[in-house]
Amino acid sequence: MSSPGEPLVVLDAVTFRYPGPPPVLAVRWATLRVSAGEHVALTGASGSGKSTLLNLMGLLDRPTAGRVLFDGADLSAAPEPDRAAVRACRVGFVFQSFHLLPNRTAAENVMLGQVYAGVPRARRIDLAMHALDRVGLAARAWALPSQLSGGERQRVAVARAVVNRPWLLLCDEPTGNLDSAATAQLLGLFDELHADGIAVVVVTHNPAVSGRAERRVSMRDGVLTDASGGDLGADPQAS
Amino acid sequence: MRIRRRRDTAPAVRSRLSAGDLARESLAGILQRPGRSALTMLGTVLGIGTFVVVLGLSETANGQISKNFNALLATQVTVTDTGAANATTPTLDFPSDASVAADRINGVIAAGVWWQVLLGSATAAQVSNLPGDDAPAGVNLPVYAADPGALRASQPSLANGVLFNAFDQAEREPVAVLSAAAAAQLGVLGAASQPTVFIAGQAFTVVGIIRSDSRLPQFGLGLIVPASTALADWGLPQPAQPAQMIIRTRVGAAQVVARQAAVAIRPDDPGLLSAAAPAAPTTLRNAVAASLRTLLLSLAAVAVIVGALGIANTSLVAIMERTAEIGLRRALGARPGHIAAQFLTESAVLGLGGGVIGTGAGVVITLAVTVAERWTAILEPTVVLLALPAGAVVGLVAGLYPALRASSIEPAEALRR
Ligand SMILES: Nc1ncnc2c1ncn2[C@@H]1O[C@H](COP(=O)(O)OP(=O)(O)O)[C@@H](O)[C@H]1O
Ligand SMILES: [Mg+2]
């Protein structure tokens, strides 16, 4: 893994337009550097472009203009298998709406994250149980999503995102469905991951969550501003 | 602050989908909706099943026809004396060396002339086991004249004694071969003691008794004497029962022998004879069956196509429903190719399942019909061996377009659903 402080993911003058119709310019000229092991909170009004920005950082979407660098490599125009490889082994996603497969147990949902990362089958269950244990759900490993509460499903999604020990964890409003106790537990987990050197970018409206982050950035109408007054990692091309 | 230069090498990590995972994920996709998967297979089951039944049954039916036919008729040629049939006086258009001439034709195993002896106008002669005058009224039995070649060609099954031979024919010996039926009526127990029977008062020595003759069944009802002896004693065959020649050929040679026989026997006037190999019934039956078979096979092909469309349609619907799942898999690191492989495998497994069930059902139905008809089942192993993977091929072809569609779904777009 890149050592702490080194840039892990860099958005370099990234613009993203949804083709529509009508076309929507969801991200405008955004420049952001997230270092290895950094903990960043992303805030902003609904529709300001936070989810779109997260998709760009996680290599789910390709920018309309600008570059996305991951661990130093420009992957914005890289072949899809290269981007898939980074998603499989280096990035963990926690989606706003969980995206668990309804007919698979919690453990099986976590193990799906190991399939494309090429984790040997014999090691999957132990690693999955460990990840579920970290989110406090080891006892519910064999429950189906329909048998879990919203908060528990969210934690299964978190377990799936961290099971491959990614370098970057991207969370889209992870506490939206959680009560304060569960939120506190999730924040504790973020701290642990941070301590492990995993960079975390979390989209949130919850001040308790953004308060824990080292850095807060916010979006408005697709434009990225630094809410904590720090350096956004200004345009690397400029120098 | 600096960032590293653009790295031209691919990332050190790879996304994978092992064969085992591909199989497990595809199977899970199919079993996710078992009812729908079963219905999807139905078209392929019907199509492949019909193929197997139609091919299996027509093969079996053909086999039965040729089985009954081959043994005797396919190796037999009959030459009739058409000259004699048109005559009013006793006539024999077969020369004395007719069997020798016929024997020389390529493919002939044995040949000989025979006819039924008519004494006066009666088809049966008075036969007795006692001399003429003091004999109590004997029994009426048909009498046949045959040269030894005719007996070799018709192959009667001998109960005891021997058949008369070339010597008896050459010497016009007064010998007779009795059918078992005639022997019973005459009280003749066996040929060993060379008993004498009297045909229209004339003494003949019994040299052999035959059980039956499948090529010339009439031999199994009466007495047979050498043709030369019959000619000497009773003259030429009557026009009502002209002479015939029976030729036994090697398998497959009958038609060719029939074409050459008349010229070979009567090069001077082949028109007096007419030779015929029985029309091969298989040819006729096949012609009738072939059109039905073509119709049924066309129906089977339609069923297979419907099956393929069913698989394609279900796959497209499934992809719509599973868009979010596809997006999730892509987010978890699946390549487009991995998505395509999974959906293609699902289609192929559905097709293979349809093929396996269809083949099994087809074989069972074929066997059931065969047993009901008391036939011997003839199922080409190649039909079965081809039917099984045919289903998978149908599934693969049907799944190609849906798989391509699935793999081109944009992950971020899919996850927004
Ligand atoms: N698929 C799409 N097509 C067109 N416009 C979209 C699409 N998804 C999002 N948008 C628009 O892009 C903007 C940013 O959306 P999003 O990134 O989801 O915002 P946020 O996550 O901050 O709520 C919004 O105006 C939204 O309406
Ligand atoms: Mg959002």
Residue among A85, A93, A118 whose CB faces B11 most closely = A85
Which positions in chain B touch A10 (Cβ < 8 Å)? 3
pLDDT of residue B43: 84
Mean pLDDT of the A167-179 span: 84
Please give the C-alpha separations between residue B85 and each of A221, B144, B179, B272, in angstroms, as whole numbers: 113, 18, 27, 10
pLDDT category at B244 given cuts 50, 70, 90 is: very high
Query: Does pLDDT of A237 surpass 60?
Result: no
Taking each helix axis as running N to C, give the angle between helix A180-195 and helix A150-162, from 0 to 180 degrees, rounded to the nearest 10. 10
Residue of A99, A118, A236 with shortest CB distance to B415: A99
Domain stops at, among B238, B268, B298? B268
Tokens encoding A30: 């955004």
Cβ distance B10 to A78 less than 8 Å, yes or no, reads yes
Residue with the smallest CA separation from ligand 1 atom 18 is A51
B250 at interface of A, judged by CB pairs closer than 8 A: no
> All domains of chain A, ordered by start, with CATH?
7-226 (3.40.50.300)
Judge whether A98 is closer than 8 Å to chain B, CB to CB.
Answer: no
Q: Give the number of whichever ligand sits closest to the CA of residue A46.
A: 1
Give pLDDT, residue B247: 94
Same domain flag for B289 and B256: no
**Is the Cβ of A221 closer than 8 Å to some Cβ of chain B?**
no
Give the percent of chain B with pLDDT over 90.
Answer: 39
B288 with B345, same domain: the answer is: yes
Residues B212 and B352 reside in one and the same domain: no
* DSSP-assigned beta bridge partners for residue B273: B81
CB pairs below 8 Å between A and B: how many?
Answer: 124
The answer to whether residue B6 is domain-embedded is: no
One domain, residues B170 and B109? yes
Q: DSSP class of residue A45? A: -
- Please give the C-alpha separations between residue B283 and each of B57, B62, B64, B287, B395, in angstroms, as whole numbers: 17, 10, 13, 6, 38
Does any ligand 1 atom lie closer than 6 A to the CB of residue A239? no
Quickly state the pLDDT bin for B2 (edges 50, 70, 90). Answer: very low
C-alpha distances in angstroms, A226 versus A4, B72, B104? Answer: 21, 102, 112
Flag whether B210 is in a domain. Answer: yes
Residue B336: which of A10, A72, A80 has the nearest Cβ?
A80
- Domain end (from B268, B303, B336): B268
Range of the domain at B188: 94-268
pLDDT for B68: 52
Residues with CB under 5 A from ligand 2 (ion): A 51
* Contact with chain B for residue A77, Cβ under 8 A: no
Instruction: Tell me: do B240 and B300 sit in the same domain.
Output: no
Cα(A227)–Cα(A44) distance, rounded to whole angstroms? 10
Mean pLDDT, range A27-36, rounded to an integer: 92
Residue B380 maps to a domain: yes
3-state DSSP assignment of residue B203: strand
pLDDT of residue B186: 85
The pLDDT of residue B122 is 66
Q: Is the CB of A154 under 6 A from ligand 1?
A: no
CA of A233 to the centre of ligand 1 (A): 24
- A-chain CB neighbours of B10 within 8 Å are 78-79, 81-82, 85
Residue B4 counted as domain residue: no
Tally helices (H) and strands (E) across chain B.
Answer: 14, 12
Q: Please check whether residues B237 and B109 belong to one and the same domain.
A: yes
Interchain CB contact of B327 with A (< 8 Å)? yes
Bridge partners, B210 (sequence order): B158, B179
Distance B415 CA to ligand 1 centre (A): 13
Ligand 1 pocket check for A21: Cβ under 6 Å: no
In-domain check, residue B88: no
Most confident of A19-23, B111-115, B306-310: B111-115
Residue A238, pLDDT > 50, answer no
Instruction: Copy the structure tokens of residue B132.
Output: 């003429």
Q: What is the ipTM of this complex?
A: 0.92
Minimum-distance ligand to the CA of A23?
A: 1
Query: What was the pLDDT predicted at A110?
Result: 96
Task: State whether A85 and B14 contact (CB < 8 Å).
Answer: yes
The overall average pLDDT reported for chain A is 88
3-state secondary structure A64-103: CEEEEEECCEECCCCCHHHHHHHHHHCEEEECCCCCCCCC
Number of separate domains in chain B? 2
pLDDT, tens only, B200-229: 888 899 999 999 888 888 898 899 999 999
Q: Whose structure tokens read 């980074």?
A: A86
Distance B322 CA to ligand 1 centre (A): 22
Residue B281 has pLDDT above 70, yes or no: no
Residue predicted with more confidence, A2 or B367: B367
Does ligand 1 have an atom closer than 6 angstroms to the CB of A46?
Answer: yes
User: Has residue B69 got a pLDDT over 70?
Assistant: no
B370 is a domain residue: yes
Q: Does B73 touch chain A (CB under 8 A)?
A: no
B290 and B249 within one domain:
no
- Same domain (yes/no): B264, B287: no
Boundary-marking domain end, from B268, B293, B325: B268
**Per-residue pLDDT reduced to its tens digit, B338-371:** 999 999 999 999 999 999 999 999 999 988 888 8
| Predicted local confidence at residue A228, as pLDDT | 57
Our answer on whether the CB atom of A51 is closer than 6 Å to any ligand 1 atom is: yes
Atom from ligand 1 closest to the CA of residue B413: 1
If one compares A194 and B129, the residue with the highest pLDDT of the two is A194
The minimal CB distance from B1 to the residues A81, A82, A233 is found for A233
Helix (H, G, I), strand (E, B) or coil at A233: coil
- Is the minimum distance from the CB of A49 to ligand 1 under 6 angstroms? yes
> Which of A19-23, A99-103, A225-229, B300-304 tops mean pLDDT?
A99-103
Instruction: Pick the closest to residue A202 from A59, A50, A68, A91 (CA basis).
Output: A50
pLDDT of residue B383: 83
Ligand of minimum distance to the alpha carbon of A221: 1
Angle at B208 between CA B206 and CA B212, to 5 degrees: 125
Best to test chain A binding among B1, B332, B415 (most A CBs inside 10 Å)? B332
Give B331's contacts in chain A (Cβ within 8 Å). 58, 60, 87, 93, 95, 99
Q: Do B15 and A89 touch (CB under 8 A)?
A: yes
Across the interface, whether the CB atoms of A85 and B32 are under 8 A apart is answered no
- b/e for A189-204, b at 16 or more Cβ within 10 A? bbeebbeeebbbbbbb
Q: Is it the case that residue B1 has pLDDT exceeding 50?
A: no
User: How far A141 CA sits from the closest chain B CA (Å)?
Assistant: 19
Mean pLDDT of A69-83: 91
Interface touch A84/B334, C-beta < 8 Å: yes
Mean pLDDT, chain B, as a whole number? 85
B159-204: pLDDT as tens digits? 989 999 999 999 999 999 999 988 888 888 888 888 888 888 888 9
pLDDT reading at B388 higher than 90: no
Considering the domain architecture, whether residues B294 and B400 belong to the same structural domain is answered as yes
Instruction: Count Cβ atoms within 10 A of the Cβ of residue B267 and give its class: 0-12 exposed, 13-18 middle, 19 or more buried.
Output: exposed
Question: Is residue B332 pLDDT above 60, yes or no?
Answer: yes
Q: At what angle do helices B381-407 and B34-70 cross, to 10 degrees?
A: 150
Please indicate, yes or no, whether residues B180 and B57 belong to a single structural domain of this protein.
Answer: no
Which residue has better confidence, A32 or A190?
A32
B1 in any annotated domain: no
Question: Are residues B63 and B39 part of one domain?
Answer: yes
Q: Do B260 and B293 fall into the same domain?
A: no
Mean pLDDT in residue range A159-186: 86
Question: Which of A88, A112, A160 is nearest residue B15 as measured by Cβ atoms?
Answer: A88
B chain contacts of residue A99, beta-carbon cutoff 8 Å: 324, 327-328, 331, 415
Q: Which residues of B touch A27 (CB under 8 A)?
A: none
Question: Does B409 lie at the interface with A, CB-CB under 8 angstroms?
Answer: no
Tell the residue nearest (CA) to atom 27 of ligand 1.
A47
Distance B14 CA to ligand 2 centre (A): 29
pLDDT, tens digit, 9 for 90 and up, residues A195-219:
888 999 999 988 888 888 889 999 9
Q: What is the DSSP letter of B122?
A: B
Interface check for A190 against chain B (CB to CB < 8 A): the answer is no
CA distance B314 to B316: 5
Beta strands in B142-272 (DSSP E): 143-146, 157-161, 175-179, 196-199, 202-212, 223-226, 244-249
Residue B132 confidence (pLDDT) = 58
Question: Does residue B299 form part of some domain?
Answer: yes
